[in-house]
Chains A and B, each alone.
Chain A
Amino acid sequence: MRILALITVIITGIILIYGTVDMPDWGDPNSPASKHVSPEYIEEALEKTATPNIVTAVLADYRSYDTLGETAVIFTAGIACILILRRRRQRK
């Protein structure tokens, strides 16, 4: 069982390392991730939201509904913990 798990892990790791060969170099300024939409956010965030910290501007201004949904996730997790850990009253 443990040998089977080890073989699965090694095969998956080799496939993933083969996939990194086509990735852009680490810290490359011309990688596709930093060329497509992020320059617009960096250049327009200050004049549109008046917030110097761009991460906070995107989190609370551009994506505030996403943050609201995240709060709903935390609420659901808390309710689920209470429902699982509740000791049921024993009826006699």
Chain B
Amino acid sequence: MFDFIVSKYNYWIYVILMMIGFYAMIGKRNLVKKIIGMNLFQTAIILFFVSTAAKRGGTLPIIEHGHDHGAHAIEAAAYINPLPHVLMLTAIVVMVSTLGVALAIVIAIYRRYNTLEEDEILRQRK
């Protein structure tokens, strides 16, 4: 039972982080708070993907003495998995693009309705 908790508690903390972001997206009424919640959500998913690449006893995915062209063989078990890192680099850049467009839309909404609260915007639209 103790081994089970030790080997899984990281995943539970990622789920808790993701749910904090999800609650901010659907429960808060301020639009900037919703965007902050979206950022938390995406960061939790990236954290989960990066953690699937971790290997016990593995080092960074940079090959030692790479320029020497030595005859030593490269063992896959000695380096951690590089593929999730590559995919998450793309995801971080897309995350910031999404953040920029969302903030531009929030500024446009503020110019039109002069408020950031969702319920006041809905009341003005009636």
Contacts and interface: CB of A to CB of B under 8 A. Distances in A.
Interface in B1-51: 7-8, 10-12, 15-16, 18-19, 22-23, 26-27, 51
Contacts of B108: 84-85
Contact of A38 (B16, B74, B81): B81
Contacts of A70: 90, 93-94
B122 interface: no
Contact of A73 (B57, B82, B93): B93
A77 B18 CA distance: 25
Contacts, number: 135
A81 B82 contact: no
* Residues of A in contact with B, size category: 35 or more
Nearest to B107: A85
Contacts of A33: 52-53, 81, 84
B18 A34 contact: no
A84 B100 contact: no
B77 A29 contact: yes
B93 A20 contact: no
A23 B48 CA distance: 12
A43 B10 contact: no
11 contacts: A13-B15, A23-B8, A26-B10, A28-B56, A29-B58, A31-B52, A53-B63, A59-B86, A74-B97, A84-B101, A85-B108
Interface of B: 7-8, 10-12, 15-16, 18-19, 22-23, 26-27, 51-58, 61-64, 66-67, 74, 76-77, 79-86, 89-90, 93-94, 97-98, 100-101, 104-105, 107-108
